[in-house]
Amino acid sequence: MLTKSDFIKYLQCPKYLWLHKHRKDLIPAEVDENLQKVFDTGYEIESYAYKLFPGGAEAQVAGFNESIAKSKQLMAQKSPIIYQPTISGKELFCRADIIKLNADGMSWDIYEVKSSTSVKDLNLHDLAFQKVCFEVNGHKIGRLNLVCVNNQYVRQGEIDPAALLQIEDVTDQVLALEAEIRIEIMKALDIIKLYDEPKVRILKQCREPYACVFLDYCWKDVPEHSIYEIAGGLPEDKLNELLDEGILEIKNIPDGVITSVAGLRHHQAVKHQQVHIEVENIQEELAQLQYPLYFLDYETFAPGVPLFDGYRPYQRMTFQYSLHVQAAPGGPLEHYEYLAKDFTDPSRGLAKDLSERIGATGTVIAWNMGFEKGCNSEMAERYPEFAAFFASVNERMFDLMQVFKKGYYVHHEFHGSASLKKVLPVLVPELSYGDLEIHEGGTASNKWRDMIDPKLSPAEAQAIYDNLIKYCELDTLAMVRILEVLRKIK
């Protein structure tokens, strides 16, 4: 049986389909927490989509066979609107989100609900599969529609489903794909029937558009410092050329293949195990700094359905900052922090608190400052009383990451990345995110949402609060220590 979700993953990588059918033992027992939050967002948006089609009959009940039987019954009874109809037969299985009976009483329109804000190719493939599945099992399909999030909607009071969501008729696009999808379905069914695991060359499909649950298994023989992590990345045609020659390690890439400056520096660092340092360029970058120095990091949450008035779907709310301040060269560090605790708009209180900590002069240091500057601009727009403050901060920002992104400091253990999580263990090994309960921003964002839930116990909320404080503080302390290392370079 070929399911809709398996078919979509098959389009990403045929090997996924075979492994999912024959090697379920390789699937992690627990769903990744960040992935679960994506699922939860989808379920929440789906609940609002139902309100656009009130009075529908629910076809999903406990058990697949029971859901299939219930769907058949409701469709035979010509129920005008059906939620979650399940279709199985002819080696295909799918569950639609919403179907609506047309005036002719013979055909059904499909409404696929997605948490995205625009139509993606994957959505069209999804609907094409549903159309084929319904029709080969004897159900006539009319129009095909995508229900997605309207990112221009601004919440004011209770959520308005008709404003939050928009319906787009994509029938013509789906019909244009249908013949191709029917062929791919046959290929996918053949993959399932294979006795041996199919051989699939690793290119870029393992993480695009989704991270594959079989990543660890498929990459078990990929060496450290592989061709897949060269700084800046290699296009698929170059990867294919290298794989044709049996080359998997960066150090073995022949001259002429890599053309980018960043890639060449990374290649040489790995090949010769030497650190590439451009002292003059680093010193020139650091010469821009003016004391006092403010090391700033934000944490944000961007829900698909806005939590508070004045926000659009997926618009970030800045709920936490960490700030290390050094007034003079070699001077002591002061640390300030803010973390919103209550189920209210977190950014206003943060903006007020931060405006009392950062003075009118001095450089504000961030890592990948585009993120912090964007947060500042959004808070300035929302709270005009702080607009001048945030404009001043943005004018004085310095991106410490650029020293590494520009290739002025390249170490093979950065693995081609300029991220803080890659640079810190090499330059300041005594500091480690591994010692923390929260290790990265996605988890921090989700934990904050959990923390402000009124249903959480005070003890549980306090534990999350403490872990968030430690995580964000390390982000700014890491920048302090990395700058100290860079200043010592002569």
Same domain, 168 and 269: no
Which two tokens mark 204? 């870029």
Strand blocks (E) in 12-97 = 57-58, 81-83, 86-89, 92-95
Say whether the peptide bond before residue 161 is cis (omega within 30 degrees of 0). no
Report the C-alpha gap between 408 and 468 in whole angstroms.
32
What's the pLDDT score for residue 396?
98
Domain enclosing residue 247, as ranges: 222-274
Same domain, 157 and 249: no
Q: Which of 173, 82, 85, 185 is nearest to 132 (CA)?
A: 185
Report the C-alpha gap between 408 and 285 in whole angstroms.
10
Tally the domains of the chain.
3
pTM score above 0.85: yes
Same domain, 68 and 42: yes
The CATH code of the domain that includes 290 is 3.30.420.10
Same domain, 341 and 392: yes
pLDDT mean for each 10 residues of the chain (490 residues): 92 93 89 82 95 96 92 96 95 96 95 95 96 96 97 96 97 97 96 94 84 90 94 92 94 92 93 94 96 98 96 96 96 97 95 97 98 97 97 98 96 96 96 90 94 93 96 97 95
Same domain, 262 and 126: no
Same domain, 268 and 301: no
What's the pLDDT score for residue 38?
85
Report the C-alpha gap between 351 and 339 in whole angstroms.
11
Q: Which residues, listed in sequence order, are joined to residue 321 by a DSSP beta bridge?
A: 298, 338
Q: Going by DSSP bridges, is the β-strand pair 363-366/293-301 parallel, antiparallel, or unpaired?
A: parallel
31 within a domain of the structure (yes/no) = no
Report the C-alpha gap between 131 and 92 in whole angstroms.
11
76 within a domain of the structure (yes/no) = yes
What's the pLDDT score for residue 74?
97
**Which of 172, 192, 212 finishes a domain?**
192
Report the C-alpha gap between 437 and 96 in whole angstroms.
38
What's the pLDDT score for residue 78?
95
200 within a domain of the structure (yes/no) = no
Residues 64-70: contacts with CB within 8 Å, 24+ apart?
64/88, 67/95
215 within a domain of the structure (yes/no) = no
The CATH code of the domain that includes 89 is 3.90.320.10
**Which of 250, 274, 298 finishes a domain?**
274
Report the C-alpha gap between 380 and 318 in whole angstroms.
12
What's the pLDDT score for residue 251?
94
Question: What are φ and ψ of residue 413, in 5° steps?
Answer: -80, 0
What's the pLDDT score for residue 471?
96
Contact 231, 265 (CB under 8 A): yes
209 within a domain of the structure (yes/no) = no
Task: Write the DSSP assignment of 138-179 as a string of letters.
Answer: T-EEEEEEEEEE-TT----SS--HHHHEEEEE-HHHHHHHHH
Q: Which of 296, 393, 397, 299 is nearest to 346 (CA)?
A: 299
Same domain, 183 and 325: no
Contact 424, 475 (CB under 8 A): no
147 within a domain of the structure (yes/no) = yes
339 within a domain of the structure (yes/no) = yes
Task: Write the DSSP assignment of 299-353 as a string of letters.
Answer: EEE--SS-SSTT--TT--EEEEEEEEEE-STTPPEEEEEEE--SSS-SHHHHHHH
Report the C-alpha gap between 468 and 454 in whole angstroms.
18
Contact 165, 112 (CB under 8 A): no
Same domain, 43 and 129: yes
370 within a domain of the structure (yes/no) = yes
Same domain, 345 and 460: yes
Same domain, 311 and 417: yes
Same domain, 172 and 309: no
Same domain, 256 and 306: no
Which two tokens mark 169? 């008729």
**Which of 211, 241, 274 finishes a domain?**
274
